[in-house]
Structures are given as structure tokens and as C-alpha cells.
Amino acid sequence: MIDFKKIPREKGYYLAGFADGEGSFMVVVRKREDYKIPWKISVCFNVSQKDRLILSQFKRYLQCGTLRMREDGIWYYEVNNFRAIVENVIPFFEKYRFLSSKKKNDFRIFKQIVKMIEKNEHLTEDGIKKILSLRKKLNVNCKKTKYGEEEIIKYMERKRGSSETIRQTLQSQ
């Protein structure tokens, strides 16, 4: 949990402003054959920049996340631990608010998805569909995701269909 008393007001607003322009709230979908519904849904906040110093301030004041350098020399700060998102990242940006309507909207959607995950809705097919629908609105101008909404839904339906066929076959025997 963040101790807001340890964050100088000007640092908090500076970091929020920096994230307003350079940060991203993301929903990551990974294929997991060992899951009942074969998709793992997780959330992530990140910022990338050439200057490591600014990103180290995020790590210091949000008290979570990792700081790494990519192969192209760009540094990135990333928080993908769910508890850290809930207890540190969201409270930080609720206190030090964004100015742009785009980032405010992304943050609102991101929080909605986090709440759904807290309620375990990401473990149901309907929940995944709702999350995917919200994800489409999040960071609209970002690069294409690895797994698109249609591909994920079709895959779930095929999996459900094949397990339903097996169940019906076993019942008829």
C-alpha cells in the first residue's frame, strides 16, 4: 500500500503528467491450455522512455514494478502484479489525476476491468467477452494485440463445442 505522505506533491503530479502522455494501461490475454477456459487475463501498467531516471521515480514512489532496458536501448517501467495494480497503481492515479480526457477514459476502463477480475469474472466465458469488449476501447491507437477478440471467442467456442461433444457422446453410451 502506498504511503502518500512520502510522495512530494509536485513529484506525484509530475509522474501523473508524464504517465498521461507516455503511460499505458493494458489488458494482456495469453493462451493457457491448462486453464478451464484456455485464456489467462491479466492487467499491466507501463511507461517507456530513453531516460532511466524518470522511470526510476515511478518505481520509487509507486513502490512496485520492474525497470528494464529493451534491446533497442529504451527503458521501461512495468507493473503487472495484480495486487500492486490494486493497492499502488490505481490509488496513485486516483490521487494524482490525469488531465487528458483520453487517459482519464483509459484509466476508467482499466479500473472497470480490474474490478471484474477481482470478482473472478475473468474466469467465465461471459466475463472474458465483456473484458475483451472493454479492452477494444482501451488504448485505441495502440498496436494490434497478439490475440484479437474474434480469435479468442472462436477458440473458446471451439473448445466448448469439443468438450460438449465429448460429454454428449459419453452420455449416449
CATH number of the structural domain spanning residue 151? 3.10.28.10
CB 131 within 8 A of CB 116: yes
Q: Select from 17, 5, 44 the least CA-distant residue to 135.
A: 44
| pLDDT value at residue 152 | 65
For position 160, what pLDDT does the model report?
64
Whether the CB-CB separation of 129 and 153 falls below 8 Å is answered with: yes
Residue 77 is predicted with a pLDDT of 98
Q: What is the pLDDT of residue 1?
A: 80
Domain boundaries, position 165: 4-172
| Distance in angstroms (rounded) separating the CA atoms of residues 39 and 23 | 25
Backbone phi, psi, residue 97, to 5°:
-75, 155
Residue type, 95: K
Q: What is the pLDDT of residue 170?
A: 38
Q: Which residues pair with 161 in a beta bridge?
A: none
Return per-residue pLDDT of the chain as tens, 173 residues. 888 889 999 999 999 999 999 999 999 888 766 666 667 889 999 999 999 999 999 999 999 999 999 999 999 999 999 999 999 999 999 999 999 999 999 999 999 999 999 999 988 888 988 998 899 888 655 555 566 666 666 666 666 665 444 344 334 44
In this prediction, residue 166 carries a pLDDT of: 35
**Cα–Cα distance, 93 to 71 (Å, whole number):** 29
pTM over 0.85: no
Count structural domains, the chain.
1
pLDDT of residue 163: 46
Q: How far apart are the first and last CA of the chain?
A: 56
